[in-house]
Chain A
Amino acid sequence: MYKLFATILKDLRILTRDKVGLTLMFLMPVVLAIVITAIQNSTFELVNDNKVPLMVCNRDTGTAGKNLVEAITKIGMFELREVSSDISNRHISDRMHAKDALVAVVIPSDFSARLNQRAKDVSSRALNDFGVSSSSAADANTKVEPITLFYHPVLQVSFRQSIQGALRSALQIVETKQVVRNLYFSLNEKEIPDSVENQIVTNQVSINEVPVSRDGSRKIPNSTQHNIPAWTIFAMFFVVISLGSSVVREKLSGSFVRLKTLPTNYLVAIFSKQITYLFVTLLQTAVIFSIGAWLFPFFGLPPLNIPSDFTGLLLVSVICGWCAVSYAICIGVYAQTQEQANGFGAVSIVILAAIGGLLVPAFAMPDSFKVIMKLSPLHWCLEAYYGLFLEGGKFKDVLMNIIPLLVITLVIQLIALIGLKRKELI
């Protein structure tokens, strides 16, 4: 036992004197977590709270164009910048390059006429189908010139699609309004009163968002809740840079020659490194979670809500940390040089993070990746943390994520042990 204690003390002493290693293990993940959360949070706010600048060029002289602009305004997502109707597409594009707006909508000059015609056709067809009107069947496929949406290439596809969705819903309102107006006129031979029109068109069913948490809480997860667990796992696995090279450095150093001549098995050294670095990963977790919970609000970021099952959180963190440490030791055992350990270690963690769903959400992965994803220990770590942080679950709820993680950890340990035996290190 004293041998293990002395070895842990030695490892801790070396670790605390490695300033670069400490920076990599503590400062970098904290900076990363703050930066990524801040960026994602601003994107989240841009979509939900802030308004997207939208340039509108209404070339239509009728009422439909105006109605459309009104409907877009009512969505509340855009900050409208109306430009003169005689402005050319080229000019719009130039202004967008100057970043006057990231999105621009051009309503064609015959938009009202065509939309009105289409609405008439649709309502006539409907009335014919009900046998109310005897007029000849109209062409319900009257083409309306498309609305042109200019967008700056920097806009991401998902963001562009959400803008398109919003515009489509505005267009839907205008179209519906026109059809309703025509139907009303055909049936009553008088204009529809504004109150009735508004009741029919705008009285939409609202959507009530309910996150399905296990503890019954209705807190809507924020960007911190998503990001902090993910980047904590990333930080834990990044101990590969310090621990992997520590194993290689020891193997290549003169001290290892002496260790092999002493009456103590090298497994004691490996066991000591596991304990020391497990402590490091838990410290990383405590630091990052504390920053998320108490420091983030000072940066204007949403605070991290610590799960109610604190013991579960500790257990999950210990198991995730143990897996990260095992992986780093395995890399250290097989690497021949520190460069190999650092290079392979870092790149493999990024790859495992990517396929594990840390960079792209697991549900957005292509089917072919969903099998590979399950091989990444980072995936199971993330799922376990999300179970606690986002779903409000207890340890028993994430057990199905912990079991595969433990299996992967044991396999990694076994691979490391085989490496130690084959290289006659134990």
Chain B
Amino acid sequence: MTIPAVSIEKLNFAYQGQSTKTFSNLNLDIAEGERFGLFGPNGAGKTTLMHLMTGLLSNSSGSIRILGNDIKQHKKEVRRLFGFVPQDFSFYHELSPVENLEFFGAWAGLPAKTIKSRTTDLLEILGLSDVYNKPVEKFSGGMKRRVNLAIGVIHKPRVLFLDEPTVGVDVQTRHAIIGYRKHLNSNGTTLIYTSHQLAEAEDLCNKIALIDEGEIIAHDQLSSLLTQHSEEGLEGLFLNLTGKAYRDSDV
């Protein structure tokens, strides 16, 4: 039996001061090598679940395992296995892409020599070679997204979490980012991805989970879900399962 990339069992979580739980006995398995999409309306719990899987939030009970390692018990080992590309730009704006990669590579536990060669490769692949020594604060939104992605994969993680990685970018950048993610996946990296760009998700994901009010309401191959619910696309399926009412998060 193969070990899943992510295994969540009986997960319970509530934010501090909140009476109702965000997640109650949630179970989810994501197989290694999958391109997994996590979708849901605003406030459904996507980002919270991603933060729980990456250890940014701590669950009150239940367990989360990354490639068989409990994220609480084997914190350090687990952090070597996955990479995270947050929705917000997560780097030092005063530094250049090379300087950012040097620093985050070191924190990921890579030796200087490896960082250097990986940096050259990543800047080339993501089209940042010409601006390698310019401070990131001077970059466009699309360039910053690519820097954000490069830092998340510098240590060649086996599982990559991507939280809305293409928000606010132009078509060219989106195309480049999707292409690179597919390339990573073809080399064995499991992709776990959230987005509101459903057309993009259709192109990228081979398996999806729809989450609403802290519960997984659908979880299967995209093609199977579309057949089950007689829908032609992910947007139709999304509206069918989550309804058309506004989902403004609590103010």
Contacts and interface: CB of A to CB of B under 8 A. Distances in A.
B95 interface: yes
B135 A254 contact: no
A248 to B, nearest CB: 15
A239 B88 CA distance: 29
A3 B80 contact: no
Nearest to B80: A263
B56 A254 contact: no
Nearest to B102: A6
Interface in B129-187: 135, 151-152
Contacts of A18: 94
A7 interface: yes
A19 to B, nearest CB: 11
A169 B82 CA distance: 85
Contacts of A263: 75-77, 79-80, 107-109
B27 interface: no
A7 B102 CA distance: 9
A3 B107 contact: yes
B84 interface: yes
B112 A2 contact: yes
Contact of B108 (A5, A7, A13, A262): A262
B99 interface: yes
A259 interface: yes
A257 interface: yes
The dominant DSSP class at the A interface is: helix
B15 interface: no
Most A CB within 10 A of own CB, among B76, B94, B106: B106
Contacts of B79: 261-263
> Number of contact residues on B: which range applies?
20 to 34
B238 interface: no
Interface in A66-92: none
A10 B151 CA distance: 15
Contacts of A5: 106
B86 interface: yes
A264 B90 contact: no
Contacts of B82: 261
A264 B109 contact: yes
A421 interface: no
A254 B90 contact: yes
A18 B94 CA distance: 9
B88 to A, nearest CB: 4
Contacts of A253: 90, 92
Nearest to A5: B106
Most B CB within 10 A of own CB, among A18, A257, A259: A257
Most A CB within 10 A of own CB, among B56, B90, B151: B90
B88 A14 contact: no
Given A257-B56, A258-B86, A261-B82, A13 B94 contact: yes
Contact of A17 (B90, B104, B105, B135): B135
Contacts of B95: 10, 13-14
Contact of B103 (A9, A257, A261, A424): A9
Contacts of A7: 103, 106-107
B102 A9 contact: yes
A260 B56 contact: yes
Interface string A242-268: 000000000001110111111110001
B119 interface: no
Interface string A263-285: 11000100000000000000000
A411 to B, nearest CB: 29
A6 B107 contact: yes
Given A7-B106, A263-B109, A255 B92 contact: yes
Contacts of A268: 107
B196 to A, nearest CB: 19
Nearest to B110: A2
**Which A-B residue pairs are the 7 nearest by beta carbons?**
A6-B106, A254-B90, A254-B88, A263-B79, A258-B90, A10-B103, A262-B107
Interface of A: 2-3, 5-7, 9-10, 13-14, 17-18, 253-255, 257-264, 268, 424
21 contacts: A3-B109, A7-B103, A7-B106, A10-B102, A10-B103, A13-B99, A257-B56, A257-B86, A258-B84, A258-B90, A258-B152, A260-B55, A262-B79, A262-B108, A262-B109, A263-B75, A263-B77, A263-B79, A263-B108, A264-B109, A268-B107
Interface of B: 54-56, 58, 75-77, 79-80, 82, 84, 86, 88-92, 94-95, 99, 102-109, 111-112, 135, 151-152
Given A6-B103, A257-B88, A258-B91, 9 more contacts: A9-B102, A9-B103, A10-B92, A10-B99, A13-B95, A254-B91, A258-B86, A259-B107, A262-B107
